[in-house]
Amino acid sequence: MSIYSRIRPLAFRLPAETAHELGKGLLRTAQSTRPTKAGLAAVYQYENPTLEIERFGTRFPNPVGVAAGFDKNAEVTHALSALGFGFVEIGTVTPYPQQGNRRPRLFRLREDEAMVNRMGFNGYGMDHVKEQLQRDGLPPVPIGVNVGKMNTSSQREAIEDYRRVFDRLSPFADYVVVNVSCPNTPEEFDESSPEHLREIFETLEDENERDVPILVKIGPDSPTESVLELVDIVEGLGVDGIVATNTTTERDGLESPNREEWGGLSGAPLEDRSTEVIRTIAGHTDLPIVGVGGVDSAESAYEKIRAGASLVQLYTGFVYNGPATAREINRGLVELLTRDGFRSVEEAIGADLE
Ligand SMILES: Cc1cc2nc3c(=O)[nH]c(=O)nc-3n(C[C@H](O)[C@H](O)[C@H](O)COP(=O)(O)O)c2cc1C
């Protein structure tokens, strides 16, 4: 029995956000001294050349990353790297500090291995995040920066929000994600309209002296034609990749009483839908895809890779499976790749598309 399976029932008695803060506090403590950080790495890191992959001009030690929202303020990037994740996406970062929605705003759906959140872009803002990154230094794995707008911003102000956060934090980033798919922020206008996307990406390209790869994160709830339209638009705008997907507003087939809570659903019930979106996009374009939604095992990560994802990310699966999550997924991935005769992750990407 792992330590986490003993601790989890206790942690799950706490309100979900309190448990998350406690967990992050432990990770922050663990990364604060060299011996504790090295201790974490000794137990949890798993290295294997089969798992290495290069995308966006960056080398990833393995394809299993932490999804946006877990480390919004870049407080535990070193601990997450020591736990064996191959990359960490921080944020969503907004230009100024923002409270987000009223608590409670994060709910476990235990029977469904899922969560519902309506955090609403809470965070300390870009200046705090910049200081944090400067103070801690960058971790040894690639960092993605997920950028967002203030909840109160108009369409015009939103462009300026993205520009400011990009300007401030892209120097630290191996890639930047424009998040136009959050279901929990007020919708004053259509964030994914072609005109708005064009304005965002043209503005960011003007700022992009270092040529940092820029990706867009999409939701799982649009019909296939709309997804493909969006992909065509962003590809035409020179975007470097797609993160698919964000959380869903669907609630089909859930058992937990917390299914009644409003917000975005993540975890196991999202898995098939997000893989379907990945498959659809991969069948339509060669843009690299970061697959996210319900990854909680080697099998679920492998399925997304075979459907066309170059990299995968997770949040909810980490909460349910604990600190050994990345190690176990990576170990299992090597076994699955070997079983199927692939010499590297690269060879397995999109294997199910033919
Ligand atoms: C509590 C919570 C907060 C999140 N915050 C963000 C966020 O700030 N920005 C973002 O792009 N996605 C955010 N997400 C979405 C995740 O990055 C991911 O797309 C989604 O949870 C599906 O992955 P999962 O099933 O592995 O959790 C959040 C998810 C959760 C559960």
Which residue shows structure tokens 């087939």?
253
Q: What is the rounded distance in angstroms from the CA atom of residue 94 to the CA atom of residue 133? A: 15
Q: Which of 224, 238, 218, 219 is nearest to 287 (CA)?
A: 238
What's the one-letter identity of residue 129? V
Q: State the distance from the centre of ligand 1 to the C-alpha of 253, rounded, in angstroms.
A: 20
Q: What is the rounded distance in angstroms from the CA atom of residue 233 to the CA atom of residue 281? A: 13
Which pLDDT does position 181 carry in this prediction? 83
- Using alpha carbons only, give the angle 268, 305, 243 rounded to the nearest 5 degrees: 70
Q: State the distance from the centre of ligand 1 to the C-alpha of 260, rounded, in angstroms.
A: 19
Q: State the distance from the centre of ligand 1 to the C-alpha of 91, rounded, in angstroms.
A: 10
CB 245 within 8 A of CB 220: yes
Which pLDDT does position 185 carry in this prediction? 75
Which residue shows structure tokens 């707008």?
149
Alpha carbon of residue 179 to chain centroid: 10
Provide the token pair at 285.
């374009």
Q: Which of 15, 245, 253, 258 is nearest to 116 (CA)?
A: 258
The tens-digit pLDDT sequence of the chain (354 residues) is 688 988 999 999 999 999 999 999 999 999 999 999 999 999 999 999 999 999 999 999 999 999 999 999 999 999 999 999 999 999 999 999 999 999 999 999 999 999 999 999 999 999 999 999 999 999 999 999 999 999 999 999 999 999 999 999 999 999 999 998 888 777 778 888 989 999 999 999 999 999 999 999 999 999 999 999 999 999 999 999 999 999 999 999 999 999 999 999 999 999 999 999 999 999 999 999 999 999 999 999 999 999 999 999 999 999 999 999 999 999 999 999 999 999 999 999 999 997
Neighbours of 126 (CB within 10 A): 23
In this structure, the residue with its CA closest to atom 2 of ligand 1 is: 69
Give the helix ranges, DSSP H, for the chain: 3-11, 16-31, 34-44, 77-82, 126-136, 155-169, 194-207, 224-236, 271-282, 298-306, 316-321, 325-339, 345-348
CA dihedral 243→74→137→163, nearest 10 degrees, is 60
Q: What is the rounded distance in angstroms from the CA atom of residue 190 to the CA atom of residue 194? A: 9
* Domain spans, the chain: 3-348
117 among annotated binding-site residues: yes
Q: What is the rounded distance in angstroms from the CA atom of residue 354 to the CA atom of residue 351? A: 7
CB 117 within 8 A of CB 264: yes
**Best of 106, 246, 329 for a ligand 1 pocket test (most atoms within 8 Å of beta carbon):** 246
Which pLDDT does position 1 carry in this prediction? 66
The minimum-distance atom of ligand 1 relative to the CA of 245 is 19
- Please give the CATH superfamily to which domain 3-348 belongs: Aldolase class I (3.20.20.70)
Catalytic residue chosen out of the listed positions 74, 115, 182, 230: 182
